[in-house]
Amino acid sequence: MRYFQAESLPRGGIHGSHWCRRLPRCRQDQEFEGELGQRPLPRSGGKPIPPPPEPGLPAGSCQAFRLTVLSPPIAVRCGTGRRLETISLIHTEAKRRVAITGVGMVTSVGLDADDTWAALLRGESGAGPITQFDPSGQPVRFACEVKGFDPLEYLDRKGARRADRFLQLAIAAATQAMEQAGFGDGLAHLPPDRTGVVVGVAVGGLPLLEAQHRKLLARGPRAVSPLLIPMFIPDMTVGLLSILYGARGPNYAAVSACASGGHSLGLAFRSIRRGETDVMIAGGTESAITPLAVAGFASMGSMSTRNDDPERACRPFDARRDGFVLGEGSGMLILEELEHARARGAEILGELAGFGQSADAYHMTAPAPDGVGARLAMQQALEDAGLTAGDIGYINANGTATPVGDAAETQAIKEVLGDHARSIVVGATKSMTGHPLGAAGGIEAVISMLVCRHGVIPPTINFEEADPECDLDYAHAGPIERPVSAALSNSFAFGGHNACLAIRRWDDN
């Protein structure tokens, strides 16, 4: 039996005209059992259900009821006489569970999720000399590039020519995830109207933009490609994926710098939880290793300058850390309403259980030194998931290896978890993948799910000298085998954007 909480509202009252509305997906023949206030409702069988009498209303008046659904979405018809209205069941307080049924990754250490995971457990660095352009004269001449990627494995030649690299990486990761979820062959069981796409992108097609700008200067306006704008804009990622899979649900890009991937997953999670969608393709993608991007980040002093030792350059939480190493890649997840996944027999890999977001309200590029924004995001994620500090066994840290950022994040973790912070492992996989900007949240959400699923925590490499301000367990000695029932994945960004995801190990019992 399903139960509903109800608040009777007279039609025409402050909220009455809002709640009394016809739904485009109303199923008049849907049956249910429930309770409206103290009045039991019979199985409707598609028949009108008269509302209980409201004092002061004329006989035969239609009333609206604000309902909070604690089960999958349904709609009922309510009224008396000839006046019938469709009641929308409100989902703002619903707790529909969100399963992870597919993942895909393309990173600097692997071209899919399995290869990336294996490389992380081996402690491999993806850093090396830049090959995508001639870095001579640049203050930083190394990055974590994706190596050996062939877009023709996922796109035909025409499609590959029409997609900038960040789009190609997203399509590759999404294809991997959809195939694992069981949607790769004919898209069976994929509900098109209730499937959406949200992808985080921080920069977009910067390589294409720079190349086209050079053409403009050298040969004039007629040399600029008519595909420049559609290939450059960040939201083309979700546009192409929706076309590829026929997904007609919510479709937009999350753009919040390095928190973009985390925000995209949080927004997709909320869409499923409140009943808007049943399936969401979400994650992040980025490819911005260009002369302008490298020069810009270097001029800010935010990147490591260890040109002579790229593989040991990114050293999160180490006392001698001097900045991040620019990366690229994509991480995509298929999120699915739990009962929808079960009904089609999907393998459930994990559960996205909570989401928190906040702002530092402090500085354009520097994090708040006291970690207040990070703390708020983590606290919200825990509360949203119904978890306590003691439930957490692993945090995939933002961990970019900037002097202020790592210290602020450590402080925030200790404030959120208290004494339990010293019992968990805080990992920084950017020490191996580099910092893929808008793709980071998607990639690291996949990693966090794999930690919970396999009970193995990848190391934080290049941690050689302890910093008194960074005094937690960062798995610097190598991978750690340990059961992890729940994890947090942090994504913090320029602009003071903070996103945190709470991920749980899936247990059929």
Give me the mean pLDDT over the 388-415 stretch. Answer: 97
Amino acid 14: pLDDT: 26
413: exposed, middle or buried (Cβ count in 10 Å: 0-12, 13-18, 19+): buried
Same domain, 289 and 212: yes
Of 63, 90, 117, the one marking the end of a domain is: 90
Amino acid 187: pLDDT: 62
Q: CA 75, CA 311: separation in Å to the nearest integer?
A: 57
Same domain, 124 and 61: no
Amino acid 42: pLDDT: 38
Of 36, 64, 90, the one marking the end of a domain is: 90
Give me the mean pLDDT over the 459-479 stretch. Answer: 96
Residues 120-157: pLDDT tens digits?
999 999 999 999 999 999 999 999 999 999 999 999 99
Give bridge partners of residue 6 from the DSSP assignment. 67
pLDDT at 439 over 50: yes
Which amino acid appears at position 32 of this protein?
A: F
Residues 16-54: pLDDT tens digits?
222 222 333 333 333 333 333 323 333 333 333 444 444
Amino acid 509: pLDDT: 61
**Residue where the block lists tokens 């980040």:** 297
Same domain, 169 and 304: yes
pLDDT at 262 over 80: yes
Same domain, 68 and 157: no
Amino acid 95: pLDDT: 76
Structural domain of residue 423, as residue ranges?
98-505
Give me the mean pLDDT over the 279-305 stretch. Answer: 98
Same domain, 105 and 76: no
Residues 232-245: pLDDT tens digits?
999 999 999 999 99
Same domain, 163 and 256: yes
Could you give the dihedral angle defined by the CA atoms of residues 150, 156, 158 and 164, in that order, rounded to the nearest 10 degrees?
Answer: -40
Amino acid 94: pLDDT: 52
Give me the mean pLDDT over the 406-421 stretch. Answer: 97
190: exposed, middle or buried (Cβ count in 10 Å: 0-12, 13-18, 19+): buried
Same domain, 59 and 149: no
Amino acid 47: pLDDT: 37
Q: Which residues contact 34 (CB under 8 A, 6 or more apart)?
A: 1, 2, 3, 4, 41
Question: Alpha carbon of 67 to those of 93, 125, 277: distances in Å?
Answer: 10, 52, 19
Cα angle at 137 between 132 and 138, to 5 degrees? 60
Per-residue 3-state assignment (H helix, E strand, C coil) for 353-404: EEEEEEECCCCCCCCCCCCHHHHHHHHHHHHHHCCCHHHCCEEECCCCCCHH
Query: Is the separation of the CB atoms in 262 and 178 below 8 Å?
Result: no
Name the band, by pLDDT with cuts 50, 70 and 90, for residue 3: very low
Same domain, 262 and 391: yes
Same domain, 76 and 162: no
- Helix 260-273 to helix 440-454 angle (10° resolution) is 70
Give me the mean pLDDT over the 341-355 stretch. Answer: 97
Which amino acid appears at position 264 of this protein?
A: S
Same domain, 131 and 60: no
| Percentage with pLDDT > 90 across the chain | 79
- Choose between 56 and 409: higher pLDDT: 409
Amino acid 185: pLDDT: 64
3-state helix, strand, coil in the chain (%, to 5): 35, 25, 45
Check which CATH number belongs to the domain holding 292 and give it. Answer: 3.40.47.10
Give me the mean pLDDT over the 213-240 stretch. Answer: 96
* Nearest residue to 255 (alpha-carbon basis) of 200, 306, 183: 200
* Gyration radius of the chain over CA positions: 25
Q: CA 393, CA 485: separation in Å to the nearest integer?
A: 7
| Percentage with pLDDT > 70 across the chain | 80
Amino acid 24: pLDDT: 32
- At 470, list the tokens: 């960074």
Q: Determine how β-strand 98-106 pairs with β-strand 497-505.
A: unpaired
Rounded to two decimals, what is the model's pTM? 0.83
DSSP 93: T
Amino acid 188: pLDDT: 64
pLDDT at 379 over 60: yes
Residues 64-98: pLDDT tens digits?
333 333 333 333 334 433 333 333 333 334 579 99
153: exposed, middle or buried (Cβ count in 10 Å: 0-12, 13-18, 19+): exposed
Name the band, by pLDDT with cuts 50, 70 and 90, for residue 278: very high
Give me the mean pLDDT over the 375-383 stretch. Answer: 98
Q: How much is the mean pLDDT over the chain?
A: 85
**Residue where the block lists tokens 């960074």:** 470
pLDDT at 190 over 80: yes
Q: CA 457, CA 127: separation in Å to the nearest integer?
A: 21
Same domain, 130 and 9: no
Listed in order, strand segments (DSSP E) in 159-302 are 195-200, 251-254, 279-286
> Following DSSP, what letter does each residue of 201-242 receive, concatenated?
-SS-SHHHHHHHHHHHHHH-GGGS-TTHHHHHSTTHHHHHHH
Amino acid 22: pLDDT: 30
Same domain, 45 and 117: no
Of 22, 57, 90, the one marking the end of a domain is: 90
Number of domains forming the structure of the chain: 2
